[in-house]
Amino acid sequence: MEPTINNSKPSRARTKTPPTDLPGWGIDADPKNDPTYPMKQRTDAEQTGYSWERPTLQQPDVEILKSLERPNLTAVFGTSTPPSGLSGMLRRHAYANYSENDNRHWFTLVLADKINVVECVLDDLASGHVPNIFKEKGYKASWQHDRKGLIVSLGTTLAITAGLAYLAWPKNKRGKKPKSRTVYPS
């Protein structure tokens, strides 16, 4: 017996009839239940600018850094830690020269943060206060709740510090024996 091949096209009546037996069919047919309904009624009123009176802005009494993309200061801003020292110079450089979409902006700010930590420790020492770095970094809690993470973190820091110290050490003092000179009898 030969297999039969059905070359007939689906009937027109079958393709035009909505499959109402499918669960959820026609759920978005009601325009009042359409989640994009407000956008369809857009009036472009938001293109005319502020439609409300802008509140009183905070006045700066310390140096405030703002990105190149902003023409003016934000309405409110923090004033607790104005830029100062070497970290402040780096921050000013980052904000004045690099856009926020430039990686150099962010890398400079991260470097400024790290330098600011050292500046603060030196400031504490200069004022006679010895910082309790173990307590301030939360190592006690890390030891109680994430001992493995603390060990990995400290080990990584120690390895990086040792590597940098090794690279900074003069090459001729890294344990290499100086080349012996052959002395020929004359």
User: According to the model, what pLDDT value does residue 116 have?
Assistant: 95
Question: Of 117, 151, 116, which Cα lies nearest the Cα of 131?
Answer: 117
Q: What is the pLDDT of residue 51?
A: 72
What's residue 144's pLDDT? 95
pLDDT of residue 161: 93
pTM of the model: 0.54
Write down the pLDDT at residue 14: 57
Two tokens at 150?
Answer: 């603390």
The predicted pLDDT at position 123 comes to 94
In the prediction, which pLDDT does 52 show? 74
Question: CA-CA distance, 137 to 22, in Å (whole number)?
Answer: 59
Collect the ranges in the chain with pLDDT lower than 70: 1-15, 37-42, 46, 49-50, 174-183, 185-186
pLDDT confidence of residue 155: 96
Distance (Å, rounded) from C-alpha 81 to C-alpha 91? 12
